[in-house]
């Protein structure tokens, strides 16, 4: 069951996790891992994302994130 929670504290530290459809092991290929990492780097540089910790597993991703001052976490998508 998937559900979403609101990010109500802009200065908060958030644990974000997401999985592939049907938990398919797509991140066993470095090409797909590189796409995720490139996207995260872009969000850091251009959108104010701060990544405190991350872990890419074979079929899901975990992130500990916050944002730069003045940027709401929901603005990074």
Give 22-27 contacts, CB < 8 A, sequence gap 24+. Answer: 23/59, 23/60, 24/59, 25/58, 25/59, 26/58, 26/59, 27/56, 27/57, 27/58, 27/59, 27/61
d(CA 71, CA 60): 26
Domain ranges of the chain: 14-70
The predicted pLDDT at position 68 comes to 93
The predicted pLDDT at position 29 comes to 97
Give residue-wise pLDDT tens across range 18-74: 999 999 999 999 999 999 999 999 999 999 999 999 999 999 999 999 999 888 888
């Amino acid at each position: 069951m998937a559900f979403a929670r609101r990010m109500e504290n802009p200065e908060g530290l958030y644990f974000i996790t997401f999985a592939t459809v049907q938990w398919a092991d797509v991140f066993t290929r470095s090409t797909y891992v590189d796409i995720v990492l490139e996207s995260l780097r872009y969000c850091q540089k251009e959108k104010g994302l701060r990544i405190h910790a991350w872990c890419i597993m074979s079929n899901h991703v975990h992130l500990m994130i916050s944002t730069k001052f003045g940027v709401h976490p929901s603005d990074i998508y």
